[in-house]
């Protein structure tokens, strides 16, 4: 019994020594890196502080810190939301030199909007360019372009597709009759159709994750059998710039998850916004401008 107590005391002393050694090592590392000034903010018991005591530091950073592109865009988004809706114009800019073809934007969009099989709002097309041996892969993310003159709007017989004052082209799922005229009319292939399929089709059970409500348009609609009139099933579907997020002061999912930092979003009517700055460069191109659709998705080439 005495031997066990002695062993525990030694283990305790060893643990304290280890914590001390870790702190000493960190202090030496900071000093060697020329960051000795940070040593003063390290408490002596840094290795023993429970996470819940510092959670507010880890989970709640200072809003809009200087230097961060995402934080700059978020700040500009908040500034735009203070204006009347008709004074905003949401646009997206994609830098093709930064796009690495990871398709993180595609995956995050599917996850954010809880999209079913066959419904993709932001595909990334791939192309091989150049002449052997000087060839490379080129990637083109393609959301909805939210055109100023959208061909999909006038062809809708029930006016389910419409353009909002802030420039976003939206779909009213309660009005849509699934005729798919808009899909045919879109020259960019930015629309898909919800055939009511599930990833678990053909299995004994549709798992709960497929029955989660979609947050699109802030309506939280559930894709369930027998309620087609209340769900997106049997409707045309498309990117809406994550409208449910931006109205709550958050950037679209594709912007925050872009690994290459290639996607930018903001208010074109804000003369000091990042997107306005990028659109003013000589690298800007838009797809099929000759059609007169005036797309609001710009590419940097």
- Mean pLDDT rounded to a whole number for the chain: 83
Place of tokens 């204006």: 83
Place of tokens 């309506």: 219
Please tell me the total count of domains within the chain: 2
Q: Say if 203 falls within a structural domain.
A: yes
Distances (CA, A) of 28 to 18, 33, 38, 49, 220: 15, 9, 11, 21, 53
Kindly give, in sequence order, each residue whose CB lies less than 8 Å from that of residue 190, ignoring residues fewer than 6 positions away: 142, 143, 144, 145, 238, 239
- Give dist(CA 261, CA 256) in Å, integer: 8
Regarding whether 163 and 55 lie in a shared domain, the answer is: no
- pLDDT at position 20 over 70: no
Phi and psi at 3, nearest 5°, equal -65, -35
H-helix or E-strand spanning residue 265: strand 263-267
Indicate the pTM of the whole model: 0.76
H-helix or E-strand spanning residue 134: strand 134-141
Interval 99-133: pLDDT, tens? 999 999 999 999 999 999 999 999 999 998 888 88
Reading the block at residue 265, the tokens are 């979003």
Regarding whether 285 and 225 lie in a shared domain, the answer is: yes
- Give dist(CA 73, CA 96) in Å, integer: 19
Regarding whether 275 and 139 lie in a shared domain, the answer is: yes
Regarding whether 54 and 87 lie in a shared domain, the answer is: no
Regarding whether 131 and 106 lie in a shared domain, the answer is: yes
Residue 112 belongs to domain with CATH number? 3.30.70.20
Regarding whether 170 and 48 lie in a shared domain, the answer is: no
- Give dist(CA 289, CA 188) in Å, integer: 11
Minimum mean pLDDT among 52-56, 68-72, 127-131: which range? 52-56
Residue numbers of the domain that contains 7 = 2-59
Beta bridge partners of 300: 95, 284
Q: Say if 17 falls within a structural domain.
A: yes
Minimum mean pLDDT among 43-52, 93-102, 169-178, 263-272: which range? 43-52
Q: Say if 95 falls within a structural domain.
A: yes
Q: Say if 146 falls within a structural domain.
A: yes
- DSSP labels for 45-100? TGGG--GGGTHHHHH-PPSS-TT-HHHHHHHHHHHHHTS-GGG--EEEEEETTT--
At which of 15, 33, 59 does a domain end? 59
Q: Say if 64 falls within a structural domain.
A: no
- pLDDT at position 54 over 60: no
Burial of 27: CB neighbours in 10 Å, binned 0-12, 13-18, 19+:
middle
Regarding whether 113 and 50 lie in a shared domain, the answer is: no
Q: Say if 197 falls within a structural domain.
A: yes
Regarding whether 148 and 26 lie in a shared domain, the answer is: no
Interval 23-43: pLDDT, tens? 565 556 555 555 444 444 444
Regarding whether 121 and 255 lie in a shared domain, the answer is: yes
DSSP β-ladder status, 284-285 and 236-238 = unpaired
Cα 128 vs. chain centroid, distance in angstroms? Answer: 26
Regarding whether 130 and 25 lie in a shared domain, the answer is: no
At which of 39, 59, 79 does a domain end? 59
Regarding whether 76 and 24 lie in a shared domain, the answer is: no
Regarding whether 171 and 92 lie in a shared domain, the answer is: yes
Q: Say if 279 falls within a structural domain.
A: yes
Percent of the chain with pLDDT over 90: 62
At which of 13, 32, 59 does a domain end? 59
- Give dist(CA 145, CA 186) in Å, integer: 10
């Amino acid at each position: 019994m005495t031997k066990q107590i002695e062993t525990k005391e030694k283990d305790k002393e060893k643990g304290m020594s280890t914590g001390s050694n870790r702190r000493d090592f960190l202090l030496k590392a900071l000093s060697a890196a020329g960051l000795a000034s940070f040593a003063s903010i390290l408490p002596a018991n840094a290795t023993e502080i429970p996470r819940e005591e510092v959670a507010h530091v880890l989970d709640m950073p200072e809003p809009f810190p200087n230097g961060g592109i995402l934080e700059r865009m978020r700040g500009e988004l908040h500034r735009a939301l203070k204006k009347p809706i008709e004074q905003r114009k949401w646009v997206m800019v994609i830098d093709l030199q930064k796009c690495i073809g990871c398709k993180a934007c595609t995956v995050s969009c599917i996850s954010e909007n809880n999209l079913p099989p066959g419904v993709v709002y932001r595909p990334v097309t791939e192309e091989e360019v150049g002449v052997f041996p000087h060839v490379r892969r080129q990637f083109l993310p393609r959301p909805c372009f939210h055109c100023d003159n959208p061909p999909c709007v006038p062809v809708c017989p029930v006016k389910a597709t419409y353009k909002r004052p802030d420039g976003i082209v939206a779909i009213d799922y309660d009005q849509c009759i699934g005729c798919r005229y808009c899909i045919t009319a879109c020259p960019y292939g930015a629309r898909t159709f919800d055939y009511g399929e599930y990833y678990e089709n053909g299995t004994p059970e549709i798992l709960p994750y497929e029955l989660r409500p979609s947050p699109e348009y802030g309506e939280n609609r559930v894709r369930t059998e027998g309620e087609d009139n209340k769900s997106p099933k049997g409707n045309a579907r498309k990117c809406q710039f994550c409208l449910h997020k931006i109205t709550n002061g958050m950037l679209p999912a594709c912007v925050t998850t872009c690994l290459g930092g290639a996607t930018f979003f903001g208010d074109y009517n804000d003369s000091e916004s990042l997107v306005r700055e990028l659109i003013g460069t000589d690298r800007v191109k838009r797809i099929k401008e000759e059609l007169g659709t005036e797309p609001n998705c710009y590419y940097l080439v």
